[in-house]
Amino acid sequence: MRVAMIGTGYVGLVSGACFADFGHHVTCIDKNAEKIEILRSGGVPIYEPGLDLLVERNMREGRLDFATDLIEAVREADVVFIAVGTPSRRGDGHADISYVYAAAEEIAKVMDGFTVVVTKSTVPVGTGDEVERVIHKTRPDAEFAVVSNPEFLREGAAIEDFKRPDRVVVGVEHDRARDVMRELYRPLFLNEAPILFTERRTSELIKYAANAFLAMKITFINEISDLCEALGADVQQVARGIGLDNRIGKKFLNAGPGYGGSCFPKDTVALSRTAQEAGSPVRLVETTIDINDKRKEAMAERIVKACGGSVDGKSIAVLGLTFKPNTDDMREAPSLDIIPALQKQGAKIRAYDPAGRVEAKKLLDGVTFEAGPYLCADAADALVIVTEWNEFRALDLDHLRSTLKHPVIVDLRNIYEPEEMRAAGFEYISVGRPG
């Protein structure tokens, strides 16, 4: 099949490369000429493990190409995906779907023959109806169907998630479009991946509901971690004890500094706004948003307390800046709240992240970026672990202790054992575990 992918951001590029790897011919389109030039020359503008090799192989074998103009690709396509950004709209928190509608209008002007237009971007319920209206208005004679096909990709494991998904959700109103989508995803039948066909609005809500539930699960264990500290319990054992219940499951039960990233913050807010306007507010989600925002602020105070109640004039080493490991994504990362809060109280920040340095420099002022964890820790009054990159999991503790000015470690991801750290001579503060 021939596929056109409008947008070469995280979702569009990963999805396009994976569809090409299935054997389809894919053209990824973006108005950003600089980005397209990078891709054509073999580069990948985002950090995602294995994506560079996947793109290079499918380009070499002629199944994947890139363009700034959508005319030719859309005219030849059986399926056109809209994978443009839907950022939070300033002022009200709703998803800004103007880029989706603009793409739909451009597609309508040039498509030729029956075309399935798929919203891959995360969009509010009812967006597919509006996309259909936009296309009809632009091209009353067009033969097409609009489908919802939300993505469920984890940054850092996106290729595996695409090729071996828990499920594929397809919201479709027409049998002909259903057949096209079934053929598009036919390679997944070998892995027996569940493909759930629903009505379009149901599909759109599934995406929001899934992200909101996971955000609530993270926030729940963070609340329990605070209770554990108050009662002298261990949140990791609590998480294991409840996670072994198949009705609950162990994933997303890791206490930490709060959720971030491109999806959870934006999607929970968008869902709450949609629910309010529909007259059916989602109170649990609204509370989750509030708790998560306050959680990030509380982490800065935890660091100040570990430093004796003041960080004024002190050097704080921060390991990990991205919202999670194996990505360079800084969107809504806890570090973006924690570091400015420490700076406001007079701290001097030195930081190291294996992949996020370039993006972090755009967002953080007054930070000294180092080339490694030990350089970052050199003569620091305290070291803070904000993101659980693998290379932070087995640091040379003797070397680290001799490097730090004061042997204080605040581990916001619980990647070390308290007894081990105390035995190594550190004052060790973690999350939700007895001190």
Catalytic positions: 263
Q: Cα separation of 295 and 292, whole Å?
A: 5
* Residue 401 near residue 424, CB atoms below 8 Å: yes
Write the single-letter amino acid at 347. Answer: A
Q: Cα separation of 157 and 160, whole Å?
A: 6
Q: What are phi and psi for residue 278, nearest 5 degrees?
A: -80, -5
Task: Mention every residue, 6+ apart, whose C-beta is less than 8 A from residue 373.
Answer: 319, 352, 391, 392, 395, 400
Residue 231 CA: distances (Å) to CA of 218, 258, 302, 315 = 20, 21, 17, 32
